[in-house]
């Protein structure tokens, strides 16, 4: 049985779940939000990583169904996180290229917000540079619609795609997520440091927030925080975790 066939079965059986990774203020380490990361718990294969099943779902179209489910479930989960924290948090959800292009995407978005009662401004949609560049005219229209709903757009894996900086001017983007590739060898790697500094500088002048991804050490956190990076996400401040563990982490983090 192929992984693809198993996926259709898995959808029916409810084998997909969502993990949540804290995104924290670099200075205080207070949890500001969570990124939603999909997991597949297969009865015999165990945890199948997203790098194995997302590309298949993207090819066969299952991503539209999985993505719609994830968006709605994440918005519902946010309300529970906020009940614990007793302050506004946000939820960040990855949107694949095919989902972004889907005619139904805006309906899916509206449904998730309406069903959960989550205000649009508490939602961050993570897209990659590639998603924007496939069809920039279409992207501009969709991003405008997202902005009408006050959802914020984050560029995921920033700096690794094939795109021009011009899109930062053209599109209503709020957040840059510096890819882990530029963080992992800090503070020793001078070129990576230079790239991080340049991104932080650019973001400051364009009034964008920055999240440093893949922060694993105190030195890395100190490096980016001292250069003006407001938010970090990585194993140092929290791995992706099931919702109940994330809620326990929130209680510890008030």
The nearest distance, CB 51 to ligand G, in angstroms, is: 6
Nearer to ligand G, 156 or 192 (CB): 156
- 212 CB-near residues (< 8 Å, 6+ apart): 26, 178, 183, 196, 220, 224, 229, 231, 232, 233, 234
Nearer to ligand G, 166 or 236 (CB): 236
Nearer to ligand G, 51 or 166 (CB): 51
Q: Is 35 in the site for Na ion (CB under 5 A)?
A: no
Using CB under 6 A as the binding rule, the residues of this chain from 58 to 97 that contact ligand G are 67, 70, 94, 96
CA distance 250 to 29: 11
Segments of the chain assigned E as strands: 16-25, 31-42, 46-48, 90-94, 123-128, 152-158, 175-178, 209-213, 231-233, 241-242
Using DSSP's 3-state secondary structure scheme, residue 16 falls into strand
Query: Residues in contact with Na ion, total (CB under 5 A)?
Result: 3
Q: Is 32 in the site for Mn ion (CB under 5 A)?
A: no
Only one of the segments 49-57, 111-119, 131-139, 245-253 lies at the binding site for ligand G (rule: CB under 6 A); that segment is 49-57
Nearer to Mn ion, 54 or 224 (CB): 54
Among 129, 230, 237, 225, CA closest to 186: 225
The nearest distance, CB 176 to Mn ion, in angstroms, is: 12
214 contact choice in ligand G, Na ion, Mn ion, none (CB below 5 to 8 Å, kind-dependent): ligand G
- 197 CB-near residues (< 8 Å, 6+ apart): 227
Element (H, E) at 70: helix 62-85
At residue 21, φ and ψ (nearest 5 deg) are: -110, 130
Nearer to ligand G, 200 or 220 (CB): 220
Nearer to ligand G, 97 or 120 (CB): 97
CA angle 184, 190, 192 (to 5 degrees): 45
Annotate each residue in 147-166 with x if it binds Na ion (CB under 5 A) or - if it does not, as one string.
---------xx---------
By the criterion CB under 6 A, which residues form the site for ligand G? 21, 36-38, 49-51, 54, 67, 70, 94, 96, 156-157, 180, 213-216, 234-235, 240
By the criterion CB under 5 A, which residues form the site for Mn ion? 94, 126, 156
By the criterion CB under 5 A, which residues form the site for Na ion? 156-157, 213
């Amino acid at each position: 049985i192929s992984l693809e066939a198993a996926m259709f079965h898995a959808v029916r059986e409810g084998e997909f779940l969502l993990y949540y990774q804290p995104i924290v203020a670099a200075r205080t380490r207070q949890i500001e939000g969570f990124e939603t990361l999909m997991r597949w718990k297969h009865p015999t294969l165990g945890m199948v990583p997203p790098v194995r099943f997302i590309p298949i779902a993207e090819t066969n179209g299952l991503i539209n169904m999985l993505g719609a489910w994830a968006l709605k479930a994440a918005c519902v989960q946010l309300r529970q996180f906020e009940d614990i924290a007793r302050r506004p948090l946000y939820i960040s959800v990855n949107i694949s290229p095919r989902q972004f292009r889907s005619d139904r995407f805006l309906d899916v978005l509206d449904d998730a917000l309406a069903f959960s009662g989550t205000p649009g401004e508490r939602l961050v949609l993570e897209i990659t540079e590639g998603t924007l560049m496939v069809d920039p005219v279409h992207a501009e229209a969709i991003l405008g619609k997202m902005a009408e709903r006050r959802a914020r757009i984050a560029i995921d894996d920033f700096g690794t795609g094939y795109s021009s900086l011009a899109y930062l001017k053209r599109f209503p983007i709020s957040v840059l997520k510096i890819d882990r590739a530029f963080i992992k060898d800090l503070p020793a790697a001078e070129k990576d440091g230079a790239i991080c500094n340049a991104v932080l500088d650019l973001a400051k002048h364009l009034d964008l927030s920055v999240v440093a991804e893949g922060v694993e050490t105190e030195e890395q956190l100190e490096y980016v925080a001292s250069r003006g990076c407001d938010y970090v996400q990585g194993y140092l401040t929290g791995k992706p975790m099931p919702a109940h563990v994330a809620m326990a982490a929130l209680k510890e983090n008030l």
